[in-house]
Structure 1
C-alpha cells in the first residue's frame, strides 16, 4: 500500500471510529402524539419511542440477514447440485456409449459363429483330425471365451453403474428442487422483513430519521466502549496480519462506500458474508459463502488471539460477520440502506472469531 493509500485509510478509520467513540446527544424521546382523529402516530403507536423503533428496525433487518444466509446457502448448494447433475449426465452418456460398443463386439462374435453354421468352434477343431491344429485352436478358443466373458462382465458392471448414476441424478434433482423451494421461501422472507423495516423508516420525518441515526451511533458507542473496557484486546497476542490477511484487508477496505445488497458478492455491492468471502478469495483462500457456514467450518480462535484479517462473527445465530482490521475496528457491510464501512469491533454482540488463513 503506497503512502497516499495509507493516509487515506487512516483518515477513514479515524473518522469512522470517532463516530463510535463519541456518544450522540440524542435521547429516546417519545414520538409526538397523533393529531386528534388521526388514529395513530407516524409509526403506528403514539407512545412508541424512537429507541423502540430503532430496535424494531434492527430486529427486522437481522431477520432479513438470517433469511439471506438461508438463501445464499441454498444458492450455493443448488450450484453444487447442478454441477453434480451435469457430471452424472456425462457419465450416463459415456456408459451408454460403452454398452453400445460392447454390444457391437458381442454381435460380431455371434455373427462369426453363425457363419460357421452355428457349430461351436471346439466341435470344428475336434472334427478336423489334425492334433496340432486342434491344440493351437483350443488355446485361441480359450482366449476368445475369456474375452467374451470379460465383455459380458464389463457390460454388467456398466449397466449397474448406469442404474446408480440414474438414481444419483434423480436424488440430485430432488435436492435441487428442494433448494429451489428454500430459496423462494427465503427470498419472500427477506423481502417481507426489509419492506417492513423500510416502511417503518419512511414513516418517520427527516428530523426523526436523523435522531434515529444518532441513537444507532450512540448504542454502538456504548457497546464498543464496554467491550474495550472489558480488556478484550489487552495483551494483543494475535500478532500482525499475514500476507494473505493483508491482501484480504486491502480488498475489503477498498470496497468502503459500496452499498449493501442482500445476496450480493461484488464487485459493486455486497452483503456481509459476500464481502468477507470475496476479500479472502482475492487473497487466494476460498471460504464458505454464508456467515453461518464461515462460523461453522473455519478454524476458531479466541478474541484475545485474533489478528487483522480474522473474521468476527456476531449474534447468537451467526447472522452477521465482519473483518477485523486492527485497533479494535472491523470493515463490514452492515445492512440494507447502508454502505460498506468501518465500525467498532465490539459494537455488536460477538459470538466468536474465525481465521481463514
Structure 2
C-alpha cells in the first residue's frame, strides 16, 4: 500500500510555485512601473506648490525680458528696412529722371544716324544686365560722359540698396523667429504656473497673490501716497515716483508698457518716461542706463534689480520699499526690496 501511496506535494512546489511566482513577478512589475514603491507619490504641500510657482514665474519673467528685447530689435529692423525701401524708391525716381534726359539725347543721336554704345548701355532697364555689360563698354562719348556716368552711379547705388535690403529682411525674419520662441516659452511657463495654482484652495491662492482681495494692497498703498513734495534727489525722480504711485493696482501683463497694464520693466520705463527720461526696454539694459549705486546709497527714484540674471526691476521709493509689477495675478504694488535677491541698482540721469 505504501508503494502505491502518492507523495504529497509541498505547497510551494510544482504548479503552486509557478502560480505564486507569476503573481510575484506581476506585483514586482507593477511596483517598478510606479517608481519602485507600491505607494503613490505624496501630494505636494501648499508650500511646495508655491515654491514651484515662484520658480515658474521667475523663469517666465526672464523669458519675458528676452521677448521684450527681441521685440525691440524686430521693430528696429522693420523701421530700417522701411527706410531702405523708401530710399530705394526715391533713387529709382531720380534714376528715371536721368534716363529720360538721356532718352532725349538718344533720340537726337538716332536721328543723326547712330547711337553711342555707352548710351545704349545706360538706357538698359535691368541693373544686373547693366553691370554685366558695363565692363564691355570702355569708351564713352566725351559729350555725354558726365550724364552717362551719373546714371551708372545711380544704378550701382540701387544695386547696393537692394542687397542691403535683402540682408535686413533676412535679419528681420530671424528676429521674428526668436520672438515667437520667447513668446512660446513665456506662455508655457505661465500655463504651468496656472495649472499648479489650481491645486491650491481659493484661500491659499488669495494668500499667494497678496493676502486679501485683489485690490486690497492697492487701496492700502494709495492711502499712504506721499502728500506734498517727495523726498527725492531730483524733480524728475519725484515725477517718476508719482507716476508709479498712480499705477498701483493696475494688472501685470507680460510685454505691457502701460498705461492700463505693465510688466516690471514696462512700469519703470513708463515712470521715468513721464519725467522726460528715456530708458531702454529691458531689465538687462536698464541696469546700465544711468549711474550704478550701491544698496547703501539708494535714493527714491532709483531702479532696483533682482536675481542673478537681472530679470526683475522695481522703482525704489525709500524706507527699504519699492513699487513694482510682480507677476500675473499680482497687480502693481508696494513691496520690500528684501523680498527678492538683490542684484544691483541704477540712478537714471
Q: TM-score, normalised by structure 2?
A: 0.71
Matches within 5 A, 1:70-81: 70-81=66-77
1:149 match: 145
2:171 match: 175
**Does structure 1 conserve the Cα–Cα contact (< 8 Å) formed by 2:56 and 2:192?**
yes
Cα offset, 1:260, TM superposition:
0.4
1:24 match: none
Name structure 2 gaps, 5 residues minimum. Answer: 1-38, 117-140, 212-230
Hey, what's the Cα distance between the residues in 1 that align with 2:115 and 2:285? Answer: 68
Pairing 1:348–2:340 present = yes
1:45 match: 42
Pairing 1:265–2:262 present = no
Hey, what's the Cα distance between the residues in 2 that align with 1:111 and 1:201? Answer: 81
Distance verdict in 2 for CA 1:278–1:214, change over 3 Å? closer
Distance verdict in 2 for CA 1:287–1:147, change over 3 Å? farther
1:283 match: 275
Distance verdict in 2 for CA 1:240–1:106, change over 3 Å? same
Report SS of the residue matched to 2:339. Answer: coil
Superposed CA deviations along residues 305-333 of structure 1, whole A, max 9, x for unmatched, are: 33211111111111100011122111100
2:123 match: none
Pairing 1:100–2:126 present = no
Report SS of the residue matched to 2:317. Answer: strand
**Does structure 1 conserve the Cα–Cα contact (< 8 Å) formed by 2:210 and 2:330?**
no
Superposed CA deviations along residues 14-50 of structure 1, whole A, max 9, x for unmatched, are: xxxxxxxxxxxxxxxxxxxxxxxxx86xxx733x333
1:244 match: 236
Distance verdict in 2 for CA 1:160–1:300, change over 3 Å? farther
Cα offset, 1:204, TM superposition:
1.2
Matches within 5 A, 1:272-351: 272-351=264-343
Hey, what's the Cα distance between the residues in 2 that align with 1:91 and 1:212? Answer: 55
Cα offset, 1:208, TM superposition:
3.6
Name structure 1 gaps, 5 residues minimum. Answer: 1-38, 121-144, 216-238
**Does structure 1 conserve the Cα–Cα contact (< 8 Å) formed by 2:290 and 2:348?**
yes
Hey, what's the Cα distance between the residues in 1 that align with 2:86 and 2:115? Answer: 41
Q: TM-score, normalised by structure 1?
A: 0.69
Hey, what's the Cα distance between the residues in 1 that align with 2:338 and 2:150? Answer: 63
How many residue pairs get aligned? The number is: 269
Q: CA RMSD in A?
A: 2.5
Cα offset, 1:207, TM superposition:
4.0
**Does structure 2 conserve the Cα–Cα contact (< 8 Å) formed by 1:81 and 1:175?**
yes
Cα offset, 1:210, TM superposition:
5.3
Hey, what's the Cα distance between the residues in 2 that align with 1:168 and 1:352? Answer: 40
